[in-house]
Amino acid sequence: MRKKIIAGNWKMNKTVVEAAGLARSIADQAGEISDPLILICPPFTALTEVAMALKDSEIQVGGQNMHAEKSGAFTGEVSAEMLLTSGCSHVILGHSERRALFSETSAVVNAKTIAALVAGLIPVVCVGETLEQREAGTTNQIIEEQVGGSLDSLSEDDMLRTVIAYEPVWAIGTGKTATPDMAEEVHVYIRGLLAEKFSQEIADEVSILYGGSVKPANAPDLFARENIDGALIGGASLTAELFVPIVKTMEKLEV
């Protein structure tokens, strides 16, 4: 059975003190929930403190990015080992903001994905189209390129340790949301690409998260779709009062 995951991407928000406090609030309000997996991805500066705040809970911690190299003259970057020793189990790679604002190509994302897997991190690989691409009718082509390029050279075992997040770029931070049917359609397409690239058995096991303005109000309809295995949440993950109800929505569906 595919793992259900609710991940919070805090982006460039929260000081160390604020992040640790929010992590504790989420843990307190979530209680003993272990299914779905709760994943919190704070800024690099807060990783260690957040991991310490969550050490007695089931909640896991992830990085928001990493470099493909193990070490070296890469000012401002962090390595997989740095994330691991800060308490991370996962790392977000290829987020739309990294692709758009920092010119990361699928080849760059692929190198990072391979490095994460080698180091023992679980990569959360993001794919998604812009509004212009959707309106031009090229969503499938964009998704195919990003999935194929970002997952190039991965083995079946690698893929079983990898999570995909579909994030329609036009629905991030805009208040717009793909309808559940629209989101499900792309998730089905991604699963089909995985079946072609690997096998149907592998495709059936990979968790595919939805990452486009998920809120407590729209979570039930999104999570009711067969191929949506959770969410990668931005703004709504910055308060326990919004994030935990989304987690509990998925938990209820699992009962």
Exactly one of 49, 97, 104, 167 is catalytic; which is it? Answer: 167
Exactly one of 49, 67, 90, 95 is catalytic; which is it? Answer: 95
Question: Which of 38, 45, 58, 20 shows the shortest CA–CA distance to 243?
Answer: 38
* 41 Rama sector, left if φ>0, alpha if ψ -120 to 50, beta otherwise: beta
The upper half-sphere exposure of residue 243, i.e. CA atoms within 13 Å in the direction of its Cβ, equals 30
Report the distance separating Cα 35 and Cα 62, nearest Å: 17
Report the distance separating Cα 124 and Cα 112, nearest Å: 11
CA distances from 191 to 4, 83, 155, 198, 204 (A): 15, 29, 16, 10, 7
Report the distance separating Cα 160 and Cα 162, nearest Å: 6
* 232 Rama sector, left if φ>0, alpha if ψ -120 to 50, beta otherwise: beta
Residue pair 58/4 in contact (Cβ under 8 Å)? The answer is no
Question: Which of 79, 143, 64, 84 shows the shortest CA–CA distance to 111?
Answer: 79
Report the distance separating Cα 47 and Cα 54, nearest Å: 11
Q: Is 167 annotated in the active site? A: yes
At CA 217, angle to CA 254 and CA 36, rounded to 5?
Answer: 25
The upper half-sphere exposure of residue 31, i.e. CA atoms within 13 Å in the direction of its Cβ, equals 6
Q: Is 67 annotated in the active site? A: no
What amino acid positions are annotated as catalytic residues?
A: 95, 167
